[in-house]
Amino acid sequence: MIRGAGSFLKEFLEELAGEVALTVVACLAVGGLALGFVWGWERSPLVTGGVGGALLAFLGYGGWELLRPAKPGRRGRLAGAAATTFAVTALFIAYAWSCSCS
């Protein structure tokens, strides 16, 4: 019984540490993106807006590739990279949404 409780406690603490680490990374990523956007906007609003629009288009393409019905055959490298980027961004947004870093 004690071994089971110790195992449960160890697993719980490992999951808690993982959640905290992922939340910290997500908050730092949001802060870095905000600082990068402000810095870029001060230098050149046109380029910053263009890069932001391109990033949003890439994420939109990734979401479309990830959520569309599967077709037989291989998915292209760009589609796979866009879908992976979309999934990681969605995960970071989910964790950054709960942080109080704003």
The one-letter amino acid at 54: A
Domain residue limits at 13: 2-97
Handedness of CA 92, 99, 30, 19 (dihedral sign): negative
What pLDDT score does 61 carry? 92
50 domain residue, yes or no: yes
18 domain residue, yes or no: yes
36 domain residue, yes or no: yes
Q: What are the C-alpha distances in Å from 88 to residues 19, 94, 95?
A: 15, 10, 11
71 domain residue, yes or no: yes
| Successive 10-residue mean pLDDT values, the chain, 102 residues | 73 87 81 89 92 92 86 77 90 75 52
- Contact at 8 Å (CB) between 65 and 82? yes
Q: How many domains does the chain have?
A: 1
What pLDDT score does 50 carry? 92
48 domain residue, yes or no: yes
102 domain residue, yes or no: no
Which pTM does this prediction carry? 0.67
43 domain residue, yes or no: yes
